[in-house]
Amino acid sequence: MPARLDVLVFALTRLAASSGGQVGLPASSVETSLGAVGEDGGIEAQYALGCAYLGLAYGNVAPHDIAQSKDGRRGRAILLRAADAGRADAWLRLYEAAASCRGPVSDKEMTRFFLEQAAAADIVEAQRTLGALLLKEAGCLEEAERAVRWLHQAAAPGDPESRYLLETLVLPLPPLAPATERAIIEQVRAVDEELAARMLVARVYHLTRREAMNCNSPPEAVVDGWVFRACCR
């Protein structure tokens, strides 16, 4: 059982992290107290101390106010304990620490693992980051669709950056035979001539969804002798 003093120091640290105040104690004392609370199963204390060892702030408290020095190996071990115990943000902190280091392929794989765990734990920032990375790496439509699913999950709670990425998305669509493309455009044109024109312009000039739908002048595209005009409001 941690001493009452250790519990009190941890409470002061949490208060400073949320309020922006100062812990007001030597880092050695804070480190010892958080270590004692963490060893007794205190997940939040583990999270705070793990962040500090990795050089990451704990809320508004700087790492040097919690730990006397950085200790990457110890920090990762403690954060892994917190993550396994249910502190989802710990996965994101592990990713941030790993992503800031340059290492071999195995380290890159572990970095991706941390990010995927954070995204699976519904951390919006992780879902957005993972979606953007997968989209950047996508070489086919199936891979792009996986990226889009993560971006949609991040955008659902209202994340503006994820919404922007979705609106400016250009999928790696495979080339279509001219006859197939012509047939598709004709089918759309029979229902909505303006939409067909936008689709054709987007296809020819590789426009994003936002660019195709928000043009302010009548688009014109000439493909195989076709000329489509439509008024864009």
- pLDDT number for residue 66: 94
Asked if pLDDT for residue 33 goes beyond 90, the answer is yes
* Residues 48 and 100 occupy one common structural domain: yes
In a domain, 152, yes or no: yes
- pLDDT number for residue 172: 59
Contacts for 51 with CB less than 8 Å, ≥ 6 apart: 57, 58, 63, 66, 75, 79, 93
Mean pLDDT of 175-196: 84
* Residues 130 and 219 occupy one common structural domain: no
pLDDT in tens, 61-114: 999 999 999 999 999 999 999 999 999 999 999 999 998 875 444 588 899 999
* Residues 151 and 187 occupy one common structural domain: no
In a domain, 91, yes or no: yes
In a domain, 172, yes or no: no
* Residues 109 and 129 occupy one common structural domain: no
Q: Where residue 21 falls among pLDDT bands split at 50, 70, 90?
A: confident
* Residues 129 and 91 occupy one common structural domain: no
Q: Where residue 213 falls among pLDDT bands split at 50, 70, 90?
A: low
pLDDT in tens, 114-158: 999 999 999 999 999 999 999 888 877 788 888 889 999 999 998
* Residues 23 and 101 occupy one common structural domain: yes
* Residues 56 and 137 occupy one common structural domain: no
In a domain, 194, yes or no: yes
In terms of residue numbers, what domain contains 209?
178-229
* Residues 49 and 32 occupy one common structural domain: yes
The pTM assigned to this predicted structure is 0.70
* Residues 127 and 109 occupy one common structural domain: no
* Residues 146 and 69 occupy one common structural domain: no
Contacts for 188 with CB less than 8 Å, ≥ 6 apart: 195, 196, 199
- pLDDT number for residue 1: 56
Q: Where residue 221 falls among pLDDT bands split at 50, 70, 90?
A: very low
**How many CB atoms are located within 10 Å of the residue 96 CB?**
20
Beta bridge partners of 226: 223
Nearest to 168 by CA among 130, 206, 194: 206
Looking at the structure of the chain, the number of domains it has is 3
In a domain, 173, yes or no: no
Asked if pLDDT for residue 199 goes beyond 70, the answer is yes
* Residues 158 and 75 occupy one common structural domain: no
Task: Tell me the CA distances in angstroms from 188 to 3, 125, 223, 233, one per residue in order.
Answer: 73, 37, 16, 19
* Residues 16 and 88 occupy one common structural domain: yes
- pLDDT number for residue 9: 93
